[in-house]
Amino acid sequence: MEIKRRFIFFGFGFTIGIILLLIILNGKEASCNYLPNARMLEILRSKHRVYDKDVIQLMTDKNIDSTVIVQMLLNGDIDFSKSKVRQEPCRYYWIDGYVKEKEASIYVENCDTIITIQRLTLNE
């Protein structure tokens, strides 16, 4: 079989496979997070959030909504050098992001079923 014909058969099979995947996975929330940052942020977003009283006070003083924290958990970058990822029973993560176009950081305690936002730092 000549090479041109092989590429045609390959392209035809590849196209059918992609169409079948689109039909099977249509509407499903399938994701493949292989990098540590994306995987950990997804785990943190899926858990119930609790805010420390100092964080609540700072958010009230600076007129910051809880959706800002959700956006940081969605688009933030985990600084693994500042995080305590091997601590038991709860792990601690330092997440950098932006609040109202200004750099900000949150310190998150990750336990089995809940996460606690322990510190919110705004860099002005």
Can you give the pTM of this predicted structure?
A: 0.70
| Rounded distance between C-alpha atoms, residue 117 and residue 59, angstroms | 12
Residue 122 has pLDDT above 80, yes or no: yes
- Split at pLDDT 50, 70, 90, the class of 1 is low
At 95 the pLDDT is 92
pLDDT, tens digit, 9 for 90 and up, residues 81-115: 888 888 888 899 999 988 778 888 999 999 888 99
In a shared domain, residues 25 and 38: no
- How many domains would you assign to the chain? 2
Joined tokens for residue 60: 């009230």
In a shared domain, residues 69 and 108: yes
In a shared domain, residues 62 and 86: yes
Over residues 29-49, mean pLDDT = 83
In a shared domain, residues 56 and 71: yes
In a shared domain, residues 23 and 77: no
Fill in the DSSP letter of residue 84.
B
In a shared domain, residues 48 and 94: yes
Average pLDDT for the chain: 87
- Which has more pLDDT, 61 or 26? 61
In a shared domain, residues 91 and 46: yes
